[in-house]
Structure 1
Amino acid sequence: MIDHGFTDRTGRGVTLREVTDGNWRAVADVAPLDTQRDFAPALAARYLLLSSREDTWHSFAVYAGELALGHVMWARDEDGSYWIGGVLVDGPEQGTGIGCAAARTLAAWLAGRDGCEVIRLSYDPANTAAAALWTSLGYLPTDAVEDDEVVVELAASAAVSAAASG
């Protein structure tokens, strides 16, 4: 379990946990709001398949308290940078701060990994909610584009500082 002490707005501790035989169904059933279907798959199951069928991405279950309510994954690129992807919080739980706490937890954990200097991710430029979240967490735009998506990055040192300040 990865726990950096972040909570959602209701006070539940938000942790990242391995996807196991005991929780994979709950994670697979995580579904975004219908209004997000242009930016995310209908279910987190797609991300679980991606991480189980390829060696690049690694999935975590996002827990609030003892409930699996989200999914996030990470990868290390050939250039040594670390990437965040597949951030998905169950629709009814959105707006409670779970996604923000999960993103901060994952960034802090990645920043402590071997050779991590920068953490990157991409999002559709029309996804204003994603833009607001990542900007609020200190991610800065790069000149890069990945599959027509905006690429943003956070220095590992900034992720460590953010985790320390809680």
Structure 2
Amino acid sequence: MLNEDLRHSCGPVVELRPVDENNWYDCTELEVSDEQKSFFPVPAVYWLAESAYCGFTPLALYTGEELVGYAVTAVDPDDGSHWIMAFMIDQRFQNRGLGRSGMKQLIQYMRDKYACSKIVIGHRPENVRAAALYASLGFEEVDREEQEVIRELRFS
């Protein structure tokens, strides 16, 4: 996927911005729907705290000036693999194409920043919407356990 492709694709535009002193608290207010809490149980404040102490990179997702979600990326110190640790769109902004747009931007960001050959993401097996989104973007299932499905997106 090229920046050119992202700029000319149809649908809403999502921009990634750093989480900083101006938006960190707003990020903590983002929530998934009640139905989604069983497979996305960890609130944003947890991911922000873990990012501060574990070297993860939290990113805020905006459309225009509206904060709509967040993502957290990390590099596994053991094997150097690049992970999307968390990705969420607030319940108020779901079903508008923002998840797809945001994920495309995140993939491009990680490719540009890290020049990585693959990106890894996990999700709960019962999270069929996430599974469908990730599969449609090229993430292939590589492992399945009781609590988590692991997918990889490989680049040539």
Q: TM-score range by the shorter chain?
A: 0.7 to 0.9
CA displacement at 1:144 relative to structure 2: 6.0
Q: Which amino acid aligns with 2:71?
A: V
CA displacement at 1:22 relative to structure 2: 1.0
CA contact (8 A) 1:139 1:154 kept: yes
Q: Secondary structure at the match of 2:7?
A: coil
Q: Which amino acid aligns with 2:7?
A: G
Q: Which amino acid aligns with 1:83?
A: W
Q: Secondary structure at the match of 2:15?
A: strand
- With over 3 angstroms needed to count, the CA separation of the structure-2 counterparts of 1:15 and 1:148, relative to structure 1, is same
Q: Which amino acid aligns with 1:141?
A: E
Unaligned runs of 5+ in 2: none
1:84 aligns with 2:84: yes
Write the distance in 2 (CA, Å) between the matches of 1:8 and 1:50: 34
Unaligned runs of 5+ in 1: 158-166
1:67 aligns with 2:69: no
1:5 aligns with 2:13: no
Residues matched between the structures, number: 151
Q: Secondary structure at the match of 1:48?
A: helix
**Identical-pair percentage:** 31
1:117 aligns with 2:117: yes
CA displacement at 1:53 relative to structure 2: 2.3
1:160 matched to which residue of 2? Answer: none
Write the distance in 2 (CA, Å) between the matches of 1:7 and 1:26: 28
Moved more, 45-54 or 60-69: 45-54
- With over 3 angstroms needed to count, the CA separation of the structure-2 counterparts of 1:95 and 1:46, relative to structure 1, is same
Moved more, 113-122 or 13-22: 113-122
Q: Secondary structure at the match of 1:96?
A: coil
Q: Which amino acid aligns with 1:119?
A: I
Aligned 1:15-164 pairs, distance under 5 A = 15-41=15-41, 43-55=43-55, 57-77=56-76, 78-143=78-143, 145=145, 148-157=147-156
- With over 3 angstroms needed to count, the CA separation of the structure-2 counterparts of 1:48 and 1:105, relative to structure 1, is same
Q: Secondary structure at the match of 2:30?
A: coil
TM-score where L is the length of structure 1: 0.82
Write the distance in 2 (CA, Å) between the matches of 1:111 and 1:24: 25
Cα offsets for 1:57-82 (capped at 9, x unmatched): 21000111111110101011121221
Give structure 1 regions of 4+ aligned residues with deviation exceeding 6 angstroms. none
Q: Secondary structure at the match of 1:112?
A: helix
Write the distance in 1 (CA, Å) between the matches of 2:8 and 2:57: 21
Q: Secondary structure at the match of 1:148?
A: coil
1:162 matched to which residue of 2? Answer: none
